[in-house]
Structure 1
Amino acid sequence: KMKISVFTVITPEFTPEEVVKRLAHLRYEGVEWRVVTVLKENEQETSFWKGNKCTLSLETLEEKADYIRGITEAVGLEICNLATYLKPNEFGKIEKAMQVAKIMECPQIRINAPSYEPGNSYNSLFQETRKNLEKVEKIASKYGIKALLELHMGNIIPSASAAHRLISFFDPRYIGLIYDPGNMMQEGYENWHMGMELLGEYLAHVHVKNSKWMIEKKNKKGVFFWRPTWARLKEGIVDWKEVINGLKAVGYKGYLSLEDFSDIPTEKKLNEDIEYLKSLK
């Protein structure tokens, strides 16, 4: 049975203490903590990626690990993932995050696949990442923690096929994948069910959000220019019923982790999205 969690990137105005209480009250089952390398204090604005109060810092994570685990468990939630932004070659920091994950009884951490920019050679980036992941796999096996890469626009694994090509060299106990249909609607879309079948045991976690495409402008020749943007969960292109049916069909039992970047106020979003997801399960 799939469980539902929240990725704290979307709760920037709440502290960790506030967020776990709210999530437990709304009957979420888990929390995916956002982890940055260094926390910038006193940022003026509060947004998903800046001044987010619900973000943990890798610098102080070890000393806070027991506390964070304590407040999470006290309200009956599980820590389902530590979502870092570490690159696959930051071995020392990856090891530190895995040590902390072990203390927190969290089974996995996210690391970032490298970005692809025209001018970079995809083939050399691929080989370099593969070599780095060999080391990451060794660290992961030492701690019994899984390192997850995310299907994400702009990186070298935007699709299930591209990701499978990279991770199929590794043991799925230690290297896994975050499936993200909202990202894949911007880049990397493939038939949901086919991608899930292809990924098999590597499919370890799912991010839940939605996207749509908008006409940005039209030039003098009548050519339309489109761009992707975030959408509310029920209003985007991803048919979440179809995604969840696919996940059921492949026997996925992990988390559906809410990462809804739409414009709904946080309280309302947390409330409405879980109701919607439960209706689809």
Structure 2
Amino acid sequence: MRFSVFTAALPQWTPREAVEQLAAQGWDGIEWRVVDQQDAPEPGFWAGNRCTWPLATLEQDVPRIRELTEGAGLQFSGVGGYALCDEHADVDRLLAATAALGAAQVRVRTPALGTASYGELFAHARTCFADIAGRAARHGVKVLVELHHQTVVSSSSAALRLLDGVDPAAVGVIHDLGNLVIEGGEDVRAGLEMLGPYLAHVHVKNCVWRPAETGADGTVRWEHAWAELPTGQADVGAYLRHLTELGYDGWVTVEDFSTDRPLAERTAANLAYLRAARVAAVPA
């Protein structure tokens, strides 16, 4: 089991600062965020993120990305793409760049809820990923589908329905523990087991639900908030134990969107916590 960080969680660092800091702390790899983002007055996770490579210049940036990553002694855990499954030209660009980097796997997004009926969105996504699988195989890379709230694939069972009949060598699933606190909650171990050969990658973050407001009629409305790995509602230690017992030996990529600690302290604490949890997960 190897540990990496998704650069969406590193908004204050430049790519060079990110690889230098992560390498010095002892991380195994990095997962680069690739998207044309909005500017922001201050660096943020989703806008103005300094540790993001623009999709618009991805082909030109590939040599630089590879030089920085390999020069720091880090490996690619994957590429965090934001292209939707029906944005065919952008998906093809991500596939080609992933192959050029030697990164092995790249995320392609599934449709968000609300733009059409669930059945229409799901059928459309199934058609798209069946097609993408062939294109990914030609590039020698794997496409990743992330379990994500407010999309057509928020659970392991939904992912299995989406990919039924698709070659797991070409398309796999990112199991995301923190996202499942928000939506798609199934028994964690059962979800991992049911994915079988489709379990290709793991994202780890944590989350809590908290009361947001109380209406005039007494109805309490709740909201979710990101939390540090040890303090959220998901049991990260038990998660690593399940993964170990099921024979998973791939990447565990951290997406910590909590902000209580400074960034360097946060990343170092996360690695120490995961290393200790990995040791505890191995049977005596």
* CA-CA distance at 1:39 after TM superposition: 4.8
Deviating more after overlay: 77-86 vs 217-226: 217-226
Could you report, residue by residue, the CA deviation over 1:114-152 in whole angstroms, capped at 9, with x for unpaired residues?
Answer: 0112x7321111111111112211110110111111111
Asked whether the 8 Å contact 1:181–1:189 carries over to 2, the reply is no
Query: Does 2:225 correspond to 1:226?
Result: no
Q: Secondary structure at 1:147's aligned position in 2?
A: strand
What is the number of residues matched between the two proteins?
277
In 2, Cα distance between equivalents of 1:12 and 1:236: 22
Kindly provide the amino acid, as one letter, of the partner of residue 30 in structure 1.
G
Asked whether the 8 Å contact 2:80–2:106 carries over to 1, the reply is yes
Query: Does 2:5 correspond to 1:6?
Result: yes
In 1, Cα distance between equivalents of 2:37 and 2:149: 25
Task: Tell me the residue number matched to 1:141.
Answer: 137
Kindly provide the amino acid, as one letter, of the partner of residue 71 in structure 1.
L
Question: 1:92/1:265 Cα in 2 relative to 1: closer, same or farther (>3 Å)?
Answer: same
* Equivalent runs, 1:241-252 vs 2, <5 Å: 241-252=237-248
Q: Secondary structure at 1:126's aligned position in 2?
A: helix
In 1, Cα distance between equivalents of 2:13 and 2:30: 13
Task: Tell me the residue number matched to 2:162.
Answer: 166
Q: CA RMSD in A?
A: 1.3
In 1, Cα distance between equivalents of 2:83 and 2:124: 15
Match of 1:275 among 258, 261, 272: 272
* Equivalent runs, 1:104-119 vs 2, <5 Å: 104-117=101-114
* Equivalent runs, 1:11-160 vs 2, <5 Å: 11-36=10-35, 38-40=36-38, 43-117=40-114, 120-160=116-156
In 2, Cα distance between equivalents of 1:251 and 1:241: 16
In 1, Cα distance between equivalents of 2:131 and 2:116: 23
Task: Tell me the residue number matched to 1:256.
Answer: 252
* CA-CA distance at 1:43 after TM superposition: 3.4
* CA-CA distance at 1:218 after TM superposition: 2.1
TM (normalized to structure 2)?
0.94
* Equivalent runs, 1:208-227 vs 2, <5 Å: 208-227=204-223
Kindly provide the amino acid, as one letter, of the partner of residue 82 in structure 1.
V
* CA-CA distance at 1:261 after TM superposition: 0.5
Task: Tell me the residue number matched to 1:184.
Answer: 180
Asked whether the 8 Å contact 1:13–1:54 carries over to 2, the reply is yes
* CA-CA distance at 1:219 after TM superposition: 2.7
Instruction: List runs of 5+ in structure 1 lacking aligned partners.
Output: none
Instruction: List runs of 5+ in structure 2 lacking aligned partners.
Output: 279-284
In 1, Cα distance between equivalents of 2:218 and 2:117: 34
Deviating more after overlay: 97-106 vs 23-32: 97-106
In 2, Cα distance between equivalents of 1:235 and 1:162: 28
Kindly provide the amino acid, as one letter, of the partner of residue 88 in structure 1.
C
